[in-house]
Amino acid sequence: MATIYTQVDSNIRKTWLLMGVFLIMVIGLGYLFGYVYHNSSIVILAVVFALVMNFASYWYSDKLVLAMSGARAVSHESAQDLYRIVENLCITAGLPTPRIFIINSGAPNAFATGRDKNHAVVAVTTGLLEKLDKQELEGVIAHELSHIGNRDMLLMTVAVMLAGMIALMADFFLRFRMFGGGDGDNNRSNVVFAILGLAAIILAPIAAMLIKLAISRRREYLADASAVLLTRYPEGLARALEKIGADKTPLRQAKTATAHLFIANPFKGSNWLNLFSTHPPIAERIKRLQAI
């Protein structure tokens, strides 16, 4: 019989399976392009550049995201109720209390960021504090603390890095080919590999984006399940997601680069756009929570 624990285990296994596929894609592309163009230096340059840029952004992710979101730090004295909820859940989760920030927006939403549990941040909007009751707010905070406890920031940084690396490699190789890269041989083998290389240039970034979205959605399901383990009350988070999904207030502080961090997609789009969202459909998340 399926339980909350088997759901957590399943999400973890599927996430790491997707990461394995990601790594195989990077290695395969590097080998294929190196063979086609008889030049491995571009592969090395692309990998080094992607590593440096993405790990730099990971190291300073909390400062960048907070600045982009216009979040302000709050003290224990100025937000006692919020701090009390966070501190109690942190004790249950065995986590140090993160820094707490508030975003001045009527849209109910929240996110967590930071490179590890000792440098973590939880940010909530004023709309979340105004529109949710205590049990619903506890569900949202537990979800964000679960992201911290599960080290999702690290995993998603690696996923973004791999997706960016694949897109960058494809772009480099395409430009290299356009400007006469390679040895110019026209034998049948080289033609076949050149066709495969062109197909990879076109399809690999698309596949990388789809894998990144799949990993993001898996982590949201995992954080939902982990939040229930903390609060022992799935209905609180389910009600919170229902209110967040129904609210039409725009979150103007959200950016494309930070949208995946929020508990729910901050952009209110069509069902077609939701296919490319980093978040699973709220209705499906609520359905899973109600089934627990």
Q: Please, which residues have CB within 8 angstroms of residue 239's CB and are 6 or more apart in sequence? A: 135, 136, 139
DSSP labels, 34-69: HHHHT--HHHHHHHHHHHHHHHHHHHTHHHHHHHHH
Closest CA to 241 of 135, 136, 127: 136
Structure tokens at 115: 């490179």
DSSP class of 275 = T
Structural contact between residues 225 and 8, judged by C-beta atoms closer than 8 angstroms: yes
- Tokens coding 10: 């399943």
Question: For this structure, is 144 an active site residue?
Answer: yes
Q: Which of 136, 138, 144, 220 is catalytic?
A: 144
Residue 254 to residue 250: CA distance in whole angstroms: 9
- Which of 64, 193, 90 lies closest to 149, judged by CA? 90
Catalytic positions: 144
